[in-house]
Amino acid sequence: MAEDQDINTEAPFEAAQRPAPMLAMSGQGGALAPIVKAKPRRSIRSFILPVIILAALGYGGVKAYDWFVEGRFLISTDDAYIGADTAVIAAKVAGHVAVVAVADNSIVRAGDVLVKIDDGDYQLAVDAAKDKIATQEATIARIGRQVEAQAAVIAQAGAQVQAAQAQLLANQADRQRAALEFDRSQKLAETNFGSQQRLEQAAADRARTAASLTGAGANAAAAEAAQNGAKANLDVLAAQKVEAERTRGELETALAKAERDFSFTTITAPFDGVVGNKAAQLGEYVQPGTRLLALVPLNNAYVDANFKETQLASIHPGQKVDISVDSLDGRVIEGTVTSVAPASGSQFSLLPPDNATGNFTKVVQRVAVRIALPADALAKGDLRPGLSVIASVRTRDEGLPKPTLLGALGFDASAQGGQAKSAKP
């Protein structure tokens, strides 16, 4: 029986190679009895192989269906990176750094203080500009008082002109009277009705009134000249006042410049972001243009995907994009195509290629496509500029139904045609 057990445990192939079983002697009668041969077991390989084949066919079918429905409409590239409009914050005025209010990787809001520069000299410049304006305002006020005084002088000169003109008229009347009296006395003297003394007196009166008239005319001319001079002085004072006011305007501009320089001593964040690459150190002397730190607006990050020129025909703004981020273990984020660059990347390089010189080898060019990221994904702060992503643009029109196998075979179209025919009267 031990021999029978050994035979049963052998593999079918090994049992077939062994010679035919011998007849065993019976224990009691001595008769020969045939040895019973065990049935061979089925190998586990016969079950695994069909299962693997079926699974492979099923997996291949699913993948083929996915490709037919979605995959063939996806245009992908791994030449894509997250970007942001990073701002390099630099000094606008010279001075020693008095305060560094932020550290690397700190989050700041728009208006937060980043760096302060010693403002002592700039405060003095502001005070000096204000003092100059005050002095100039006093000068303008003084000229204004002189204008008022000169107006009084002009009024006085006007009164003197009027008095001189009145005296001139009176002298003209006296001269006319003296001339008539002389003529009358002369006629009387010629007819011996008047005395010679009366004639001489009339002649003297005529000469005296003539002299008085000349003097009155000179006084009137002098009064008018004085009036004109007073008016000219008033014009000079008015011009000086205008000049002083314009000088005050220049001083006000200087004050605005001083206040502007003073404001630049406090450097604030222009937008929300994260501080990076901080170079400002306490006590350091900085010049205009010295880089202090970089500010990265993570909330406004985007993706620049460089697609081949052969892929651009189906890419348009507004299409959805599946973005797989390498740093997030391939997590997919949905973005949106916003724009396509106006030229290939080589055209914006420092030395654009000139294909009209030397030997020519055609190289497929790449064009940058700007992709907007959703606000909820940006709010987490995980998307940092420079990270690599894989961008897949969905070029299928979302307004149309998904393609089906029946539609590809034409059955849907025939069904729609039958419905159209039945709808006709």
Residue spans of the domains in the chain: they are: 2-33, 71-85+297-401, 87-118+265-295, 121-263
Residue 200's pLDDT is what?
63
- Of 44-58, 144-158, 267-281, the range with the highest mean pLDDT is 267-281
- Classify residue 191 by its DSSP letter: T
Mean per-residue pLDDT, 183-205: 63
So what's the pLDDT on residue 36? 53
3-class DSSP assignment, residue 102: coil
- Residue 171: its pLDDT value, please? 67
Residue 269: pLDDT band with limits 50, 70, 90: very high
Please identify, in words, the CATH class of the domain defined by 121-263: mainly alpha
Q: Chain-centre distance of CA 360, in angstroms?
A: 41
Q: Is the pLDDT of residue 107 over 90?
A: yes
- Which comes out higher in pLDDT, residue 269 or 183? 269
pLDDT at 25: 47
Task: Report CA Rg, the chain.
Answer: 57
Whole-number pLDDT of residue 65: 64
Mean pLDDT of the chain: 79
Cα distance between residue 414 and residue 297, in whole Å: 55
The more confidently predicted of residues 354 and 295 is 295
pLDDT over threshold 60, residue 396 = yes
Does pLDDT of 154 surpass 90? no
Instruction: Flag the least confident range among 2-11, 31-40, 54-63, 214-223.
Output: 2-11
pLDDT 10s digits, 398-410:
766 766 666 655 6
* Segment 321-338 mean pLDDT: 91
CA distance 309 to 344: 8
Q: Is the pLDDT of residue 106 over 70?
A: yes
pLDDT value of position 408: 57
Helix (H) or strand (E) holding 12: helix 12-17
Residue 362 in 3-state DSSP? coil
**Confidence check: pLDDT of 114 > 50:** yes
SS3 of residue 37 by DSSP? coil
Give the pairing type, strands 388-394 and 24-25.
unpaired
pLDDT of the residue at 9 = 42
Report how far residue 157's alpha carbon sits from residue 162's, in angstroms, rounded to the nearest whole number. Answer: 9
- pTM for the model stands at 0.63
For residue 208, the Cα-to-chain-centroid distance in whole angstroms is 91
Instruction: Kindly tell me if the per-residue pLDDT of 315 is higher than 60.
Output: yes
Fold match between domain 87-118+265-295 and domain 121-263: no
CATH of domain 71-85+297-401: 2.40.30.170
Per-residue pLDDT reduced to its tens digit, 362-377: 888 999 999 999 999 9
pLDDT over 60 (residue 318): yes
Q: How large is the average pLDDT for residues 24-31?
A: 48
Q: Which residue has the higher pLDDT, 180 or 279?
A: 279
Mean pLDDT of 72-82: 87
As a CATH number, domain 87-118+265-295 is 2.40.50.100
Say what the pLDDT of residue 136 is.
93
Kindly indicate the confidence band of residue 79, based on its pLDDT and cuts at 50, 70 and 90. Answer: very high
Assign 68 a pLDDT band (cuts: 50, 70, 90): low
Task: Give me the mean pLDDT over the 299-325 stretch.
Answer: 92
